[in-house]
């Protein structure tokens, strides 16, 4: 008998659903329309967003997802010393690799299925490893967010809704589909994956201009022949280094966590608002697990208007369904409140049983922010203080700095007259480090390519809605200088 593979697809209609208890949250204060407008009862369907597909006989033995991914590798190797440099970087940081693959276990099955469905090489499924280390809360100075690191304009271009309540760039399903759609567009435009990835990182307009310059000079227009920023020059080699490590982790002294070749999550359709904390409790999972699967929600309430599905671990769907059917209390314990003229945070917070810091945290307010007339704040309906600090921290997880990678790797072509000392001074590294990173060389010659590893500039993080300066690169912790441009006309 054939096995069944569950592949989640964001636009499939629900095939079965049932009605659950209506919420009756008391209106103690003036509530916003978004929380008080009549809505249909919450519905649940494990069939929504799930496509059934028969697994070929040859795939039956693929109990491990890594084996399946290795079987789909199709990108050509590049003759670049940068690949070995990145292999060494990962190999020397087994704890970093372990954290990254632990996060990946939630999302990688879904991403792999979508990559295969589009006929892409499975290396593309590993791209979030170099974009965000599979951290759904990754957030950069240029306001790039989520495992695929979209900035706001690109997210909107690919249909990712973004507002005070919800950020679709952090929605695992929505962002994955948007990223793969864009990568396919770039591949169709440039004809190979190296150039498509360069355009994904650098911008399609930038790649086109680089090709035009080479054509004008009678030079090749392939990836290795184009002049590009160091970040983009390292982008494909870094992905190929990750591919090589996944292909043979033992060769690099690493052990990969087993990831089953089976769905990790199911998509549950919703038609009513519900507290994030309550949804996690009904599924009998931690807030950390729930927000890792549903990182797009900025507030402690899931608004049905923004997202009609939540993701739950496969083994918790029945638990959630049974507990929700039996639940006879309000599904929402928060309300929207508009401060009156002259009201201050330090006066409002005690009124609703919150500290000022918690009130700011749940509303995404900066340290010195003040409220203004007409501004909407989210406050508890019952006026009781939340049980734990972590409940509030979960909603702002994407604002936290991610300080795992403290270095950046550059390549430098030696010019006539340059020495080890002058190059070391230019990049603010030691001569010893420069020698060690380049095979313990004693001198350099013109035309030679050197690898330089710098300490990364510490990335500062801004909150959603607060405009960030677009200076350093958007990467969540890379400190690289080039900016990604993700949409047509060189805008992102």
Burial class (CB in 10 A: 0-12, 13-18, 19+), 274: buried
Instruction: Give the three-state DSSP class for 209.
Output: helix
Strands 43-44 and 274-275: unpaired
Strands 377-380 and 334-337: antiparallel
Q: What is the gyration radius of the CA atoms in the chain, in angstroms?
A: 25
Strands 407-413 and 449-455: antiparallel
Instruction: Write down the catalytic residue from 116, 131, 231, 391.
Output: 131
CA–CA dist 299, 116 (Å, integer): 34
**Burial state string for 201-227 with b = 16 or more CB within 10 A and e = fewer than 16:** bbbbebbbebbeebeeeeeebebeebe
Element (H, E) at 379: strand 377-380
Strand partners of residue 25 = none
Confirm if 77 and 121 have CB atoms less than 8 A apart: no
Confirm if 489 and 439 have CB atoms less than 8 A apart: no
CA–CA dist 221, 196 (Å, integer): 13
Token pair 């589009």 in the structure block, residue = 118
Q: What are phi and psi of 414, to 5 degrees?
A: -65, 135
CA–CA dist 216, 94 (Å, integer): 46
**Burial state string for 377-394 with b = 16 or more CB within 10 A and e = fewer than 16:** bbbbbeeeebeeeebbbb
CA–CA dist 459, 178 (Å, integer): 26
Strand partners of residue 378 = 336
Angstrom CA distances, 310 to 169, 171, 307, 447, stand at 15, 10, 8, 54
Instruction: Give the three-state DSSP class for 274.
Output: strand
Element (H, E) at 452: strand 449-455
> What single-letter DSSP state applies at residue 459?
P
Tell me whether residue 131 is one of the annotated catalytic residues: yes
The structure tokens listed for 217 are 């000079």
Confirm if 178 and 150 have CB atoms less than 8 A apart: yes
Task: Give the residue numbers marked as catalytic.
Answer: 131
């Amino acid at each position: 008998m054939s096995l069944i593979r569950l592949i989640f697809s964001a636009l499939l209609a629900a095939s079965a659903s049932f009605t659950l208890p209506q919420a009756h949250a008391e209106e103690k204060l003036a509530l916003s329309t978004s929380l008080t407008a009549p809505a249909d009862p919450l519905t649940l369907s494990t069939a929504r967003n799930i496509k059934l597909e028969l697994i070929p006989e040859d795939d039956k033995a693929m109990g491990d997802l890594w084996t399946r991914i290795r079987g789909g590798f199709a990108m050509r190797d590049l003759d670049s010393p940068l690949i070995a440099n990145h292999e060494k970087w990962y190999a020397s940081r087994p704890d970093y690799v372990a954290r990254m693959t632990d996060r990946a276990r939630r999302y990688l099955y879904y991403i792999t299925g979508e990559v295969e469905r589009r006929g892409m090489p499975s290396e593309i499924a590993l791209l979030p490893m170099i974009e965000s280390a599979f951290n759904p809360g990754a957030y950069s100075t240029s306001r790039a967010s989520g495992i695929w690191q979209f900035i706001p304009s690109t997210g909107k271009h690919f249909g990712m809704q973004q507002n005070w309540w919800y950020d679709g760039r952090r929605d695992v399903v929505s962002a994955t589909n948007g990223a793969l759609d864009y990568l396919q567009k770039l591949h169709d435009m440039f004809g190979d994956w190296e150039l498509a990835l360069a355009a994904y990182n650098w911008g399609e307009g930038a790649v086109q201009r680089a090709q035009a310059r080479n054509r004008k000079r009678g030079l090749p227009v392939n990836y290795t022949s184009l002049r590009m920023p160091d970040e983009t020059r390292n982008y494909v080699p870094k992905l190929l280094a990750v591919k090589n490590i996944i292909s043979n982790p033992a060769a690099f002294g690493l052990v990969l966590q087993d990831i089953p070749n089976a769905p990790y999550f199911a998509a549950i359709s919703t038609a009513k608002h519900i507290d994030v904390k309550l949804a996690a409790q009904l599924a009998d999972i931690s807030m950390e697990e729930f927000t890792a699967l549903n990182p797009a929600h900025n507030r402690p309430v899931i608004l049905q208007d923004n997202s009609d599905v939540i993701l739950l671990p496969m083994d918790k769907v029945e638990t959630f369904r049974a507990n929700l059917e039996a639940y006879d209390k309000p599904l929402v314990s928060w309300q929207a409140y508009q401060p009156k003229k002259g009201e201050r945070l330090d006066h409002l917070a005690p009124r609703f049983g919150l500290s000022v810091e918690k009130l700011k945290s749940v509303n995404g307010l900066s340290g010195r922010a003040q409220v203004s007339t007409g501004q909407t704040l989210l406050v508890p309906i019952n006026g009781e203080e939340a049980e734990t600090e972590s409940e509030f921290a979960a909603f702002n997880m994407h604002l936290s700095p991610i300080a795992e990678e403290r270095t950046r790797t550059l390549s430098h072509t030696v010019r006539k007259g340059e020495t080890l000392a002058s190059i070391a001074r230019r990049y603010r590294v030691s001569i010893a480090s420069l020698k060690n990173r380049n095979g313990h060389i004693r001198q350099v010659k013109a035309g030679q390519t050197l690898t330089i590893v710098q300490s990364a500039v510490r990335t500062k993080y801004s909150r959603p809605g607060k405009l960030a300066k677009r200076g350093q690169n958007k990467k969540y912790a890379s400190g690289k200088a080039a900016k990604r441009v993700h949409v047509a006309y060189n805008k992102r």
